[in-house]
Amino acid sequence: MTHVGAAEIPSDLLARLRAGDAAAFSAAYELHAGPIFRFLMRLCGRRELAEDLFQETWLRLARHARRLRPDTELRPWLYAVARNLVRSHARFAVADAAGVAALARWWYLDARGAEPENAAVAADEAARLERALARLPLAGREVLLLVAGEGLAVDEAARVLGVTPEAARQRLHRARAELAKSLPKEDES
């Protein structure tokens, strides 16, 4: 997975966004659209829903850009919006494990064109991990995806989740333990 490093974010991006600068919006989109889509896909496990929530996330930025506080950190802000949208679709909190596995195959195979044997093996390995991830409670899945998947610092993830850094650390610890417990079962299947 590729991550957005802080150095890649132009220092004046937020100020330009707050002024309603369309070029700044495009720059923010170029930097963060891919990671936000990836996060949503893994968090909700349903492609159509992820696509809808992805669109809503960016529409919210367009609506709120001029009202962002000067000290807003855009990356956590976007993840927080995306995460809250998933939360508001609580009925999808338990991702469909079979659907997630199918998505994993699509990411590896269909989206990459050819289907060489080694890609199929890698796809199975990825599918096992995706299934185990999808079976985690939403609270565990979101913190794991933010920190391990998206490369956010625990403090940033805590801001996204609206909890203290200590609470985020505890959630992360629990989520890792649950994932570690469920992975051998997936490896056997």
Partner 1 sequence: MTNDDDLALDLDRRLRALPDVPLPPALAAHVHARAHAELAARGAGRLAAFATATAVVSAIAVYLTWAVRFLSALAGG
User: Interface with partner 1 by CB under 8 A: which residues?
Assistant: 1-2, 20, 22, 25-26, 29, 33-34, 37-38, 41-42, 51, 54-55, 58-59, 61-63, 65-66, 104, 107-108, 111, 122, 126, 129-130, 133, 144-145, 147-149, 151, 173, 176, 179-180
Cβ 101 to partner 1, closest distance in Å? Answer: 13
Cβ 29 to partner 1, closest distance in Å? Answer: 6
* DSSP run (H or E) holding 58: helix 47-64
Q: Which residues contact 14 (CB under 8 A, 6 or more apart)?
A: 68, 70, 72, 74
**17 within 8 A of 65, measured Cβ to Cβ:** yes
Shorter beta-carbon distance to partner 1: residue 77 or 108? 108
**18 within 8 A of 66, measured Cβ to Cβ:** yes
Q: How far are the Cα atoms of 36, 49, 76, 141 from residue 26, in angstroms, in the given order?
A: 15, 23, 18, 29
Shorter beta-carbon distance to partner 1: residue 48 or 71? 48
Shorter beta-carbon distance to partner 1: residue 14 or 145? 145
Shorter beta-carbon distance to partner 1: residue 32 or 159? 32
What is the C-alpha radius of gyration for the chain, rounded to an integer number of angstroms? 17
State the Cα–Cα distance between residues 39 and 50, nearest whole angstrom. Answer: 9
Cβ 170 to partner 1, closest distance in Å? Answer: 13
Cβ 67 to partner 1, closest distance in Å? Answer: 10
Shorter beta-carbon distance to partner 1: residue 127 or 158? 127
Q: How many CB atoms lie within 10 A of CB 113?
A: 8
Cβ 179 to partner 1, closest distance in Å? Answer: 6
Closest CA relative to residue 172, chosen from 146, 151, 150: 146
